[in-house]
Chains A and B, each alone.
Chain A
Amino acid sequence: MLRLIAVRLAVFVPTLFAASIVLFITINVVPGSAAKAALGIDATPQAIARFEALNGLDRPLHVQYFDWLGKALSGDFGKSFQNHVPVGPEVARRLPVTLELALFAFLIANIIAVPLGAIAAFYHQRKTDTAITLLATIFGAIPNFWLATLLILVFALTLRWLPAGGYAALIDRPIVNLKQMVMPAVSLGVVSSALLLRIMRTSMIEVLTSDYIRTAFAKGATRGIVIWRHAIRNALIPYLTVGAVEFGFLFGGVVIIEDIFLLPGIGSLVLVGIINRDYPVLLAAALVVTVVVLTANMLVDIVASLLDPRQVRAKRAI
């Protein structure tokens, strides 16, 4: 089992570095833009040159990268171009907000997807399956920012049950926090559930054609026992592996959702970085998002392997 985890980690670390390189290149792909953005479009060439020299932007890209990397590994993400505030602490402050949102949304997505997907698979090719699949298709076509808008219209503006935005920390005021998180999490979760539902359904259909399911029926197991004891564990293994990708999509969605609901998370920090052309901020925020997504993928992968006794215990050779 330890070997399993170690292998995953060994792949994870280089991937992380590669991702940081890609981000760095992407952001710095257009020369001079950082300076122009900070100083204004009609900044003089001298002003630009001075700015770049000051911030080390005139050095070759790989030098910049390693310098940034070195500092980043020790927690120093530089200072914002805009207001010269250190980026690191800001990121640290915002991360819990985003994590709470993402986990809440992911939970909602799975609560919808797993049971419905399992039921759809069990009633494959019958009305229930068609209905559930149609529902999944509809959910998947809804833009999450539109759903957010509609939810605000109904629950915040009309019914006044939930706040339209803002954030209070979970530790400070849990009830308020949850009320604030409901709509954002639902917006993200419902849309993500569509793809997850399909994956679960496909995985379950595959499992339900297995011989051991027939054995379970032959023992007199009820529908419920077959689905929940015999089938689901087996279906979860490929589901988690494939579904881990969806977490990435979901996490990408926080960029928009945090903006709509005025949540001070990493997503809105990315936007701030973009709108202000504040590259250190953008780089740091984007990197954190990527790290979280890659970590989540790895963790889910590990969990999926642990669910499978064939991977955890060696085969006995008798």
Chain B
Amino acid sequence: MISAAVGSAGHRRRINWRRWRLLAIGGFLVAIVVFCAVFANFVAPYSPYDLDVASMLQGPSAAHWLGTDEVGRDELSRAIFAARISVEVALVAVGVGLIGGTIIGIFAAYFGGWIDLALMRLMELLFSFPAILLAVILMASLGTSILNAMLSIGIIFIPGFSRLARAATNDVLRQQYIDAARTIGMGDARIMMREILPNVVTPLLVEAAVAFAYAVLLESALSFLGLGAQPPEPSWGNMLNTGRGFMGQAPWLGIVPGMAMFLCVLGFNLLGDGLRDAFDPHLRE
């Protein structure tokens, strides 16, 4: 019956099997990446730095499951260690963004008035810059290093998180118990920490999962451009960059790091989407 558009009553919070399946796949991919990152030393068959020029540019084989690169290093091991860099950078970057954004957002919503206006205008402005451009410029001024990559990406995330924190704080402020807390003499800082923070945490964490994916993407982009992890440190980005040069002879060098990026980002996106659907009552589909 043609009634797709005539809205149906009856199915709230139906367990959508397909969505749980996607959440599971996302979780699985994320678990693999995190596992590789944490236990790289144990998981990787070779060291990512061992040169073996004799066996350079070999295709996938029993000895080297994903082949070797231009100086004979095992591609699989490098990919595994590269996960560590991506996860580290993403973790710190999201952390920086989360903390910075939460503080700004809560402040803006709590104090309101011109503080709110000023802060949010600033955040909007930062938000309107293309992320990669800002990242690249920040790296240029600060200098290229992994730490600076973490910082730059983190700064880029602050506006997004601040917007979310502000909205969530406003929701909380509309409730009665904030006034109650004030009347019993709780100071501002106390209120923000004890009453507001716990309630805004959930949507922020959900968003953090999606931000993680984006952080991995940005970090890879930066190291692809030579602005992030420097060789011989393996990062999916710089692996892809060098691999590009050997596409004719060794196409797997261009495929492997990109595939790793793709699966990692996909995993975090699926996880983030799944969490968002699970926690946000407004997104009843």
Contact = CB atoms under 8 A, between A and B. Distances in A.
> Does chain A touch chain B in the assembled complex, meaning CB atoms less than 8 Å apart?
yes
Contact of A124 (B4, B128, B251): B4
Interface stretch (B76-84, B91-99, B217-225): B217-225
Contact of A30 (B127, B133, B141, B285): B141
Nearest to A126: B4
Interface of A: 15, 18-19, 22-23, 26-30, 33, 122-126, 130, 134, 137-138, 140-143, 145-146, 149-150, 152-153, 157, 208-209, 213-214, 217, 223, 226, 245, 248-249, 251-253, 255-256, 259-260, 270-271, 273-275, 277, 282, 286, 289-290, 293-294, 297
A282 B140 contact: yes
Given A27-B141, A146-B258, A274-B140, A15 B133 contact: no
B138 interface: yes
Contact of B5 (A137, A152, A217, A270): A217
B266 A260 contact: no
Interface string B203-230: 0000000000100010011001111000
A140 B269 contact: yes
Given A29-B142, A142-B265, A143-B262, 14 more contacts: A27-B141, A30-B143, A130-B18, A141-B213, A143-B221, A143-B258, A146-B261, A149-B254, A150-B255, A217-B5, A255-B225, A256-B225, A271-B136, A274-B227
Interface of B: 2-7, 18, 22, 125-134, 136-143, 213, 217, 220-221, 224-227, 240, 243-244, 247-248, 251, 254-255, 257-258, 261-262, 265-266, 269-270, 273, 285
Contacts of A217: 2-3, 5-6
Nearest to B261: A143
B240 A149 contact: yes
A255 B133 contact: yes
B7 A209 contact: yes
19 contacts: A26-B137, A27-B141, A29-B141, A30-B142, A33-B141, A122-B5, A137-B273, A141-B265, A143-B262, A145-B221, A145-B240, A146-B262, A214-B5, A214-B6, A217-B5, A249-B130, A253-B130, A260-B244, A270-B137
Given A153-B247, A282-B140, A290 B131 contact: no
A199 to B, nearest CB: 14
Contacts of B134: 26
Given A253-B132, A286-B137, A138 B5 contact: no
B258 A137 contact: no
A143 B285 contact: no
A295 B6 CA distance: 39
Given A137-B266, A137-B269, A255 B132 contact: yes
Question: For chain B, what secondary structure do more than half of its interface residues adopt (helix, strand, loop), or is it mixed?
Answer: helix
Given A33-B141, A150-B258, A297-B128, A125 B247 contact: no
Nearest to B259: A146
Contacts of A259: 225
Contacts of A270: 133, 136-137
Nearest to B258: A146
A140 B214 CA distance: 10
Contact of A157 (B133, B225, B247): B247
Nearest to B126: A22
Instruction: Tell me which of A122, A249, A286 has the highest count of chain B C-beta atoms within 10 A of its own C-beta.
Output: A286
Nearest to B241: A145
Contact of B254 (A140, A153, A286): A153
A22 B125 contact: yes
Nearest to B221: A256
A152 B243 CA distance: 13
A157 B248 contact: yes
A145 B265 CA distance: 14
Nearest to A23: B137
A123 to B, nearest CB: 7
B142 A134 contact: no
